[in-house]
Amino acid sequence: MAFYVTTPIYYVNAAPHLGHAYTTIGADILARHHRQRGEDVFFLTGTDEHGEPVALAAEREGVTPKELADRNATRFQALLPRINASNDFFIRTSDPRHKERVQAFMQRIHDHGHVYKGVYEGWYCPRCADFKSDNEIAEGNTCPIHRIPLDRENEENWFFRLSSFQEQLERLYAENPTFVAPQQRANEARSFITGGLNDISLSRAKISWGVEVPWDPQHVFYVWFDALLNYYTALSFGAGDHDRTAELWPATLQILAKDILKFHAVIWPAMLLAAGEELPKQLFIHGYLTMKDASGEDVKMSKSLGNVLDPFEVMDKFGTDALRYYCFREVSFGQDGAVSTIGFESRYETELANDYGNLASRTIAMIARYRDGRTPAAEPDPALQKDFDGLTREVTELLDKAEITQALERIWQRVRRLNRYVEEQAPWKLAKDDAQQGRLDAVLASLAEGLRVVTVLLHAYMPETTERLMGALGQDGGFAIAGAELGRGTPGTVTPLDPPLFPKQA
């Protein structure tokens, strides 16, 4: 079984920020989870490098667009190991292999009769690399996003007959209500479509930094056509030593932020239909992490971090796993929500350091003290068993719907259950009573097993921490999801955690 997940490719002129990290970590959590299920996973990310904004920036700096793209792409590549992304490939749209496949794909669309030459006139924002329709422009013919005056452009272009896909797209959304998730985003996509689709410009004649139109080399493809195709072209050269398109296409899940919904939910499926290709199984649209609270005020300042949640600063001080955890714990994946340094520090302390880190330290310390470091072999306590029954199935079902936050909540409920179990059973009391030694074995074995199970399930979220804890528990059974049931571990020799998993910050 294959699981192919993508992030959008990031525009190479931007500087990597929390939003890029967020999308990529979300895709990474799902990729890692599906690897734990033993599936054939392919996880793709990369950079979008063509278009006028790159050409203009390069001109300003006196370098070639390729030189600028090379330099800027390395900033995105450098982000990946820092956030512990396990992507299988990093595609760059300036890669000649990508260009060749774009040309072949677009030639198919041409040969199927879905393009024609026409004259385009409209308002164009060079920084969006996009024409704006009359209802998309701000006062004084400016770009509502960039607040710069728009150029009135008029040129001979190739057009894509998007309008001819109106009915097919309407049917797609009617017959496949989860093609776009969450539901609210599917509704938005449908309203774009039912509002009436116009043909769109497919090429640009005035710029040369792009993929040449094979049937008219005076033109390059409009950057969005070239960029969207990365999801398809990468499989032919980036997925191993042979073309794996037949094995991995269509994509299982494409993750993106809501600002690029229209391109992905309307134009992208139309392009695939035009070429006679299968459509991705699902597009998942996530929201924004904002730095404002519900009343629109800037979120509060904290003592140890600044006002703005800077992902690099968080990772430097608290570790990558803490950032990965916080972003998906604080804001439900798919919704907008506020993140803050105060919120981060609070969850770090109460949840990571206390709930999880302290549970791990105590469990291991008690096994070391009372059982000389050997985890007792005993059946899991039925009192705990009933609270763990069905957990793994719940988590996998939620993650099948990309409900990363809800799955994390279910796991965390069991982390808290284990802490209550320690208090209920009070192993320190059992240890003092010779008649309770069998009971103490059962309690310690159950705790170690419960901790192992949540750790297997948390692995996709916090890969480094969970590796370390599994080592400290003396477990060599690995992270296969099939093993995430109480009683499936092999009792090992524990090693005290020093320093603890999430040290308190001074």
What does the binding site for Zn ion look like in residue numbers (CB under 5 A)? 125, 127-128, 143, 145-146
| Range list of β-strands (E), 126-248 | 130-132, 151-160, 180-181, 200-201, 203-204, 220-221
Whether 61 contacts 41, CB under 8 Å: no
Kindly name the residue from 146, 242, 292, 504 that is annotated as catalytic.
Answer: 146
Q: Is 112 a catalytic residue?
A: no
Q: What are phi and psi of 123, to 5 degrees?
A: -85, 130
Q: How far is the CB of 130 from Zn ion (least distance, A)?
A: 7
Kindly name the residue from 17, 262, 281, 317 that is annotated as catalytic.
Answer: 17
Nearest CB to Zn ion, comparing residues 143 and 202: 143
Q: Is 300 a catalytic residue?
A: yes
Q: How far is the CB of 140 from Zn ion (least distance, A)?
A: 14
Ramachandran region, residue 372 (left: φ > 0; alpha: ψ -120 to 50; beta: rest): left
Nearest CB to Zn ion, comparing residues 127 and 439: 127
Q: How far is the CB of 298 from Zn ion (least distance, A)?
A: 25
Helix, strand, or coil here: 505?
coil
Q: How far is the CB of 128 from Zn ion (least distance, A)?
A: 3
Nearest CB to Zn ion, comparing residues 78 and 148: 148
Q: Is 303 a catalytic residue?
A: yes
User: CA separation (Å) from 181 to 195, 281, 283, 287, 332?
Assistant: 20, 11, 6, 11, 13
In angstroms and rounded to an integer, the radius of gyration of the C-alpha atoms of the chain is 26
Pairing assessment for the beta strands 130-132 and 115-125 based on DSSP bridges? antiparallel
Kindly name the residue from 117, 300, 429, 504 that is annotated as catalytic.
Answer: 300
Kindly name the residue from 98, 128, 264, 327 that is annotated as catalytic.
Answer: 128
C-alpha to C-alpha distance for 260 and 194, rounded to whole angstroms: 18
C-alpha to C-alpha distance for 24 and 328, rounded to whole angstroms: 12
Q: CB neighbours (10 Å) of residue 45?
A: 28
| Range list of β-strands (E), 363-406 | none
Kindly name the residue from 33, 125, 219, 327 that is annotated as catalytic.
Answer: 125
Peptide bond before residue 250 is cis, with ω within 30 degrees of 0: yes
Nearest CB to Zn ion, comparing residues 57 and 145: 145
Helix, strand, or coil here: 185?
helix
Q: How far is the CB of 448 from Zn ion (least distance, A)?
A: 56
Those residues with Cβ within 8 angstroms of residue 424's Cβ, 6 or more apart along the chain or in another chain: none
Q: How far is the CB of 149 from Zn ion (least distance, A)?
A: 10
Nearest CB to Zn ion, comparing residues 3 and 123: 123
C-alpha to C-alpha distance for 192 and 73, rounded to whole angstroms: 32
Kindly name the residue from 34, 50, 143, 264 that is annotated as catalytic.
Answer: 143
C-alpha to C-alpha distance for 395 and 482, rounded to whole angstroms: 12
Nearest CB to Zn ion, comparing residues 124 and 225: 124
Q: How far is the CB of 122 from Zn ion (least distance, A)?
A: 13
Element (H, E) at 286: strand 283-286
Nearest CB to Zn ion, comparing residues 13 and 475: 13
Q: Is 327 a catalytic residue?
A: no
Active site residues: 17, 20, 125, 128, 143, 146, 300, 303
